[in-house]
Amino acid sequence: MVLSQDGWGRIIALIASADGDLAGAEDALSSALERAVSVWRESGIPRNPEGWLYRVALNARRDAWKSAATRTSVPWDPDIHDHIQSRLRDDGDAEEQTDSDSLPDHRLELLAACAHPDIDPGVRPLLMLSAVMGMTGKQIAVGMALPAATVAARLTRAKKLIADLGIGFGQPDRADLEVRLPDIHEAIYGAFAIDWVHAESEPRDGIVGEALYLSRLLAQLCPDDGESHGLAAVLHLSAARFPARRGGGGEFVSLESQDLSAWDSTLAARGEHHLREVHRTRQIGRFGLEAAIQALHMAGVRSGSTDWPMLLRLHDDLGAIAPSLGGAVSRAAVIAEIDGPEAGLAALDDVGSVGGSGGAGGQTNAAKRVDSFQPAWALRAHILARAGRCDDAAEAYRRAIALTTDPAERTFLENTAGGRWPRQP
């Protein structure tokens, strides 16, 4: 690869910042890369390869812009035209410097464009992987276990949308970008925590490395934003445990039974570094708290003694700023550790009663959701089994297993339940 991991996103951000045309910028950079292969073979690699690629790609885009101006079939927006003209002049100056200076960095604006509110949240991660990382639709499809045609269609639609919106992102308003940060965080988190759309025959690692890179990039672009560091921390700490989460036979291994020597110490150290940065910024948000919770759990497994009261405080804070079903269920698990099974079960019952009251049938929306929430049933089963309430535990295991589509997790639950329920009625 002639381009560094940083290079693709930098050049795309610079070129597309004029008119928001990501597809056009990608075509231009791809053709520049093709040219580089033959030109560099002849004359050697230039001193500043990225500056060279940027110039060649920009020239290709200029040709496209100019020809668009003369073609009647393409709608020509005078505002964009003026903007591009001024950019071409600016870049004329910048071009002189590209040999010695590094390229200006518009990647934060590019990330913000990818997380634009008009783009479906499920498509934003795909767009980031494509535009910022230079991944092909096919690579993304393989990583996410999606059909390649689906990914290609979604990318094309989203890029067209950005181009149609005319989101030129050359002159960013810093305040605008800060408003968009939560959406950027969500999208990067989405690329990492792929909600496995399909039942898989075998677990995939997906695009973990790319999502980690995006989180580090964002933390680097926004060094004083606590949540950006929090996101990087939570992703790295999770990824550090990935090698240990499946056993030799592909079976699911719960956190407390994991082989600690299989944890990735480099990733864990990076996660802890970003967690310290969260403390430095003194901005602790949802991701910062989740990272702190994970770090405490990991420290507990390492030392053999978990600080449950501290975990409960963190969960309380998390529930106050970012309430979620998953968070509330995890909090109930902590309460079961501190105050015993009955208290844990009571906390789980409370999860069901959170939220608005009184639907038509007297059942709240939250209650309906918790009723179909697999982790809530798995935890209930676990607590009941520990309390020695075997019949109730068997029933809860049955409900949890019915909601589990992942084969490895299903096997884990079936083994844990120990055959206390009939497999087939």
Partner 1 sequence: MRYSLIFHAPDPREEGSPQPSPEAMAEMQKLMSDYADALYSAGVFIAAEMLEPTEQTTTVTRRTGSVVIEDGPFAASKESLAGVFIIDVENRDAALAWAEKFPGTNYGTIEVRAAAISYIDGRWVQP
Task: Name the segment binding partner 1 (CB under 8 A); options: 21-29, 142-150, 222-230, 255-263.
Answer: 142-150
Q: In this chain, which of 38, 43, 201, 303 binds partner 1, going by CB under 8 A?
A: 201
Q: Does 405 bind partner 1 (CB under 8 A)?
A: yes
CA separation for the pair 259, 256 (Å, rounded)? 9
Options 45, 197, 255, 321; binder of partner 1; rule CB under 8 A: 197
> Measured from the CB atom, is 147 or 172 closer to partner 1?
147
CA torsion sign for 360, 363, 366, 369 is negative
CA-to-CA distance for 365 and 111, rounded, in angstroms? Answer: 34
> Is there binding between residue 153 and partner 1 (CB under 8 A)?
yes
Question: Of 148 and 161, which has the nearer Cβ to partner 1?
Answer: 148
Reading the block at residue 25, the tokens are 């910028």
399 φ/ψ angles, rounded to the nearest 5 degrees:
-65, -40
Kindly tell me which residue out of 149, 165, 338, 390 binds partner 1, with binding defined by CB under 8 A.
149
Sign of the torsion angle spanned by Cα atoms 275, 279, 280, 282: positive
Q: Which of residues 367-396 bind partner 1 (CB under 8 A)?
A: 371-372, 374
Residue 146 sits in the site that holds partner 1 (CB under 8 A):
yes
Closer CB to partner 1, 337 or 406, in the complex: 406
205 binds partner 1 (CB under 8 A): no
Least separation, in Å, of the C-beta of 349 and partner 1? Answer: 18
The one segment of 71-79, 245-253, 335-343, 402-410 that binds partner 1 by CB under 8 A: 402-410
Under rule CB under 8 A, residue 147 binds partner 1:
yes
The answer to whether residue 200 forms part of the interface with partner 1 (CB under 8 A) is: yes
For residue 80, count other CB atoms closer than 10 A to its CB: 18
Site for partner 1, residues 224 to 253, rule: CB under 8 A: none
**How near is the Cβ of 196 to partner 1 at its closest, in Å?**
8
Span near partner 1 by CB under 8 A; candidates 48-56, 192-200, 233-241, 380-388: 192-200
Bridge partner residues of 7 (DSSP): none
Q: How is residue 241 written in tokens?
A: 């445990």
CB atoms < 10 A from the CB of 58, how many?
24
Considering only 150, 220, 283, 364, the residue that binds partner 1 (CB under 8 A) is 150
Residues interacting with partner 1, by CB under 8 A? 141, 145-150, 153, 196-201, 371-372, 374, 398-399, 402-407, 410, 423-424
